[in-house]
């Protein structure tokens, strides 16, 4: 296998188990497409699927899963804590092996046209695939979510779709497709039911409000768990380590007498992202990832 990409499609369904299973089914037992992980969250009402494999195999599976999502998810009645604008909300491509970021951008553009042709859902480019300097980050594309975007796409040229007409699909909305670096979905749960505290901390931690340069964050309510959460995407874990973000949130929460209940990583994560934090909390001096036995073995095997 000479070319490998990672893909983490997000679907706006986290509650109906039959729909979740139907969406995930095309990614199973498909040659060249490897399903690493799939997680559905009821509060977020969202399904995150982690894939790795050959571009063609992954794209074929995405079309099949997308058809299920479009047929079964209605954004007009969908409710959840996580922002969304489509039944298939976002499809990111990340280069892993034998493919450059530029080639991933080309792949995303080609797939976006196929996605619209077969599903009739308009596509909005984001991250490295963006063709609009003022509309690169996902939060810029998705601002206002489905409810606002379904009107803005008709009247505001800056919100127009990149592929397809200036009109969202009547039930499945629109889909963001793009190429990007590895992203770590990192959430911190707080021992309180006051969601305003999480929202304030989410605002302070994110880059757009002067926080960490590589962090996107927001506060959400998790009523099923009886607590609130600072939900984040770390878009470059090498520049912003997980432990720095966690300690900042812990410090901010303390002013309200609130403690951290726990953290969670959604989907797959590079070993380096976890090892940086492990070395910090264990206070290991001069630690290098090459000291990890399994990583060293993998490196040696790739040299053979």
Q: Considering 78, 82, 109, 169, which one is annotated as catalytic?
A: 82
DSSP 8-state assignment for residue 133: T
Radius of gyration of the chain (CA): 19
Verify whether residue 44 is a known catalytic residue: no
Q: What's the N-to-C CA distance of the chain in angstroms?
A: 15
Q: Where are the alpha helices (DSSP H) in 40-121?
A: 55-72, 101-119
Map tokens 């989410």 to a residue: 202
DSSP 8-state assignment for residue 210: T
| Residue 235 and residue 181 in contact, taking contact as beta carbons nearer than 8 Å | yes
Q: Where are the alpha helices (DSSP H) in 130-227?
A: 138-141, 145-155, 195-205
Instruction: State how far the Cα of 86 lies from the Cα of 75, in Å rounded to an integer.
Output: 7
| Residue 187 and residue 122 in contact, taking contact as beta carbons nearer than 8 Å | no
Of 248, 241, 242, the residue nearest 204 (C-alpha) = 248
Instruction: Kindly list the catalytic residues.
Output: 82
């Amino acid at each position: 296998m000479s070319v490998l990409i990672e893909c983490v499609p997000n679907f706006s369904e986290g509650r109906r188990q039959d729909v979740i299973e139907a969406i995930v089914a095309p990614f199973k037992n498909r040659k060249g497409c490897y399903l690493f992980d799939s997680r559905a969250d009821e509060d977020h009402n969202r399904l995150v699927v982690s894939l790795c494999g050959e571009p063609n195999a992954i794209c074929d599976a995405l079309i099949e899963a997308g058809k299920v999502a479009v047929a079964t998810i209605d954004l007009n009645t969908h409710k959840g804590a996580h922002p969304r604008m489509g039944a298939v909300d976002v499809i990111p491509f990340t280069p892993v092996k034998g493919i450059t970021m530029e080639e991933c951008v080309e792949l995303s553009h080609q797939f976006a046209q196929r996605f619209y042709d077969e599903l009739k859902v308009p596509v909005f480019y984001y991250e490295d695939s963006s063709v609009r300097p003022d509309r690169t980050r996902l939060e810029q594309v998705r601002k206002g979510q489905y409810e606002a975007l379904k009107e803005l796409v008709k009247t505001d040229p800056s919100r127009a779709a990149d592929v397809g007409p200036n009109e969202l699909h009547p039930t499945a909305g629109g889909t963001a497709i793009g190429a990007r670096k590895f992203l770590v979905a990192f959430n911190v749960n707080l021992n309180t039911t006051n969601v305003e505290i999480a929202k304030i901390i989410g605002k302070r931690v994110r880059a757009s409000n002067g926080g960490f340069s590589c962090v996107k964050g927001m506060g959400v309510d998790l009523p099923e768990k009886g607590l609130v959460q600072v939900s984040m995407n770390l878009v470059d874990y090498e520049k912003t380590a997980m432990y720095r973000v966690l300690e900042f949130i812990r410090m901010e929460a303390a002013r309200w007498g609130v403690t951290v209940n726990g953290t969670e990583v959604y989907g797959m994560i590079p070993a380096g992202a976890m090892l940086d934090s492990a070395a910090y909390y264990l206070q290991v001096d001069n630690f290098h990832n090459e000291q990890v036995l399994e990583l060293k073995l993998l490196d040696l095997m790739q040299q053979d």
